[in-house]
Structure 1
Amino acid sequence: MPKVLKCDPTSISFDNDGRPRITSQYTRAALRLASRRLHDLQPVAFPTETVYGLAAIALNPEAASRIFSTKGRPADNPLIVHVSSQSMLHSLLPPHFTIPPSYQTLIDAFWPGPLTLLFPTDISKIPSIITASHSTVAVRMPSHPVARALIAVSNAPLAAPSANSSGKPSPTRAEHVFRDLNGKVGLILDGGPCDIGLESTVLDGLHHDGNIRILRPGGITVEQIEEALRLAHSGHSIPRVLVHRRDFVDDAIEQAPTTPGMKYRHYSPAIPVTLLRATSHPPAGANSISPSTLLASLKSSTVANPPPKVGLLAPSESALAKKLLQDPVIQWHRYTLGSLSEMSIIAQRLFDGLLSLEQEGVDLILIEEVPEENEGLAIMNRVKKAASETCWIVPNSL
């Protein structure tokens, strides 16, 4: 059974060089124990502002290999390297590499925070297991005090994917990690629930055209990135921000991803998830159904013996949810995501909702779409990967 140690994020502060000051004795002791375990090549689960991560010393291939074995993670799915300071970042980079102006703008605006940047790999420093043998390495500086302090106390960059079995919803609480990886990880640092709840935004700005390519939307929105670049490049050529599968398609990078979350089905609980699309237009050839038809199919489904237990993840103002919940036969388990006017709250609650409904033993989870703007772009990126089926609802039936 893993040891779970509480840490107090409010007891940690940093000086200008990224060195931590820790006033809580029990937090300091927990971080030192975690550091010792990491240097003994044992993975440690820890909180970040995005999701809980499973950490190992990034520069040690044996340590990194234990992340893959613990999670059951495919070897061609690269890892993100986490640093605690810009000086630690520079220690990883090739000696003659100059950080592009657009990168420095984004580092100044969003680090520490949920933004991951691709950099050229120095193969003399970064093991190939971290990059899946690619020529680039993904790096970020987390803003969660416990995460950043653990890196600094360990005095080493940490590779850290989400602390869950590969393919499952990412954990946003220590208890999520405990339930999923019990017996597979020896130490969990509990720093409370994650503030953002979705993984970091990953971008590639290394192309010769100078444009920014978003490979995975996440905790920093496209609109925030565009605004930071606009302010910094006022009067000059502003880099375009292109989103994978919205503004460009790169099949090669999907087959051999340079960053996590692109190739494999992700974020799926152990039960089926159906995406309900009630506001966007269906593609050619797709049939839309009414809520009453959806209810009839749920009650006759072979997913469960009647009466079915159905989880429903929807915004608080959802007209579709209100109509579905009127059915008296289905055993509804509703998890309210929050208001569409506060998309950051919906992002924060998404994975917790999936994992909570799975824990409640529902037979099926229905999740309603949200607009793909601001945090909604990252939310729908995760929902589409979690869902095994999409159901289009006739809009004028609500």
Structure 2
Amino acid sequence: METKQFTGDEIDQASALICKGELIAFPTETVYGLGANALDEHAVKQVYAVKGRPSDNPLIVHVSDFEMVKQYVTDFPSNTKALVDSFWPGPLTLIFIVKPNTFSSTVTGGLKTVAFRMPKNDKTLALINKAGVPLVGPSANTSGKPSPTTAQHVFHDLHGKIAGILDDGATQIGVESTVLDLTAADGVPVILRPGAITKESLEEVIGKVRVDQHLISEKEAPKAPGMKYKHYSPDTPVWIVDGNPDVFKKAITWAKNKNQRIGLFADDQLISAFSDEIDEGFSFGEDSVEQATKLLFAGLRSLDEKNIDIIFAQAFPETGLGIAYMNRLKKAANQKNLKSDSIFE
């Protein structure tokens, strides 16, 4: 299969393929999604097959407006309007109980709920409008690997496996949306996956919000994507290192003593400080969690293509956007963190 790269002027062609049951990757402000007609069970099954995604992992359904959600949900919590008015379009996914027999179990993962999002990308909103159907849209990559933040990342993973890619350059945020479950029995919304929309931002709009910090084992069925211990991982082992230069020095010495070739994902200052001691570096620029988050997946992908044995990645405090950044980095590293001196002994 030839994978065509579509421009914004070719949305009609891309939407026609969606309507024929083909898969089209699309851009969002977070990462690129792998799009298929959410009402076409065969097309959705192809998404799982192409990605190698576990079939118990539910999919997020992307819509072009809130009116589209109303076709599938009848009972909305009282806080829904405030959330939609404040954060849609944008990087917030909302989980609702859906009407029976609206989506197949390939979308729901066997649950009675579905996660909906209205992405903040004009080309993708136009694609959904033109197709006239909601789109499932998991990250457009091989399952478990770093998510794609450019069309080139998608092409690298999926060329020859999907019909096309709608190209809109690099994404702005770089990690997946915040997932907010609105179906808890006590009525308190629960963050199942952190993202750019923080707990504090949500509470300013709707009051109390809980955070589910439970990590899903390989044998458990998640209620939202990205909840497992290991995810977003390159083939090269990743270790988290606190941003202190002294800790980085110990980590680099530890790896060199094991004759390992070292890749470093860090800010300009740290890359410069250790340029003579590492084999490859990927700088996200200034010491900024926003920049680190935007370039995390791109950096891991780039370093993974180099001839190295280990990737050291800079940690950030787990506040604000840092919660989402560290959530992805911890899963990419399978929770491995070089912050204890004992690891270097």
- Residue 226 (structure 1) aligned with residue 227 (structure 2): no
8 A Cα contact 1:270 1:358, kept in partner: yes
Residues 228-284 of structure 1 deviation map (CA, whole Å, 9 limit, x = unaligned): 23xxxxxxxx3x222121xxx4869992211101136211112111111357xxxxx
- 1:198 aligned residue (163, 175, 180): 175
- Residue 392 (structure 1) aligned with residue 339 (structure 2): yes
- Residue 261 (structure 1) aligned with residue 207 (structure 2): no
Q: Relative to structure 1, is the Cα distance of residues 160 and 187 closer, same or farther in structure 2, using a 3 angstrom cutoff?
A: same
Corresponding residue of 1:242:
210
SS in structure 2 at match of 1:92? coil
Q: What is the alpha-carbon distance in structure 1 between the residues aligned to residue 258 and residue 242 of structure 2? A: 20
Q: Partner letter of residue 335 of structure 1?
A: F
Q: What is the alpha-carbon distance in structure 1 between the residues aligned to residue 185 and residue 89 of structure 2? A: 26
Corresponding residue of 1:235:
none
SS in structure 2 at match of 1:348? helix
Corresponding residue of 2:134:
157
8 A Cα contact 1:51 1:199, kept in partner: yes
1:205-354 correspondence to structure 2 within 5 Å? 205-229=182-206, 238=207, 240-245=208-213, 249=214, 255-263=220-228, 265-277=230-242, 291-301=248-258, 304=260, 308=261, 310-318=262-270, 324-327=274-277, 330-331=278-279, 333-340=280-287, 342-354=288-300
Q: What is the alpha-carbon distance in structure 2 between the residues aligned to residue 121 and residue 101 of structure 1? A: 16
Q: What is the alpha-carbon distance in structure 1 between the residues aligned to residue 221 and residue 320 of structure 2? A: 28
Q: TM-score, normalised by structure 2?
A: 0.91
Shift of 1:317: 4.8
Corresponding residue of 1:179:
156
Q: What is the alpha-carbon distance in structure 2 between the residues aligned to residue 225 and residue 123 of structure 1? A: 29
Corresponding residue of 1:2:
3
Corresponding residue of 2:308:
362
- Residue 133 (structure 1) aligned with residue 101 (structure 2): no
Residues 42-75 of structure 1 deviation map (CA, whole Å, 9 limit, x = unaligned): 1111111110110000011111000000100010
RMSD, aligned α-carbons: 2.4
| Alignment length (residue pairs) | 340
Q: What is the alpha-carbon distance in structure 1 between the residues aligned to residue 247 and residue 93 of structure 2? A: 41
Q: Whose Rg is larger?
A: 1
1:70-81 correspondence to structure 2 within 5 Å? 70-81=50-61
Q: What is the alpha-carbon distance in structure 1 between the residues aligned to residue 70 and residue 247 of structure 2? A: 56
Percent same amino acid at aligned positions? 41
Q: TM-score, normalised by structure 1?
A: 0.80
Q: What is the alpha-carbon distance in structure 2 between the residues aligned to residue 107 and residue 293 of structure 1? A: 47
Shift of 1:380: 0.3
Residues 201-236 of structure 1 deviation map (CA, whole Å, 9 limit, x = unaligned): 00112224332210000121222112223xxxxxxx
Unaligned ranges ≥5, structure 2: none
SS in structure 2 at match of 1:383? helix
Q: What is the alpha-carbon distance in structure 1 between the residues aligned to residue 136 and residue 41 of structure 2? A: 10
Q: Partner letter of residue 267 of structure 2?
A: P
Q: Partner letter of residue 89 of structure 1?
A: V
- Residue 52 (structure 1) aligned with residue 32 (structure 2): yes
- Residue 39 (structure 1) aligned with residue 19 (structure 2): yes
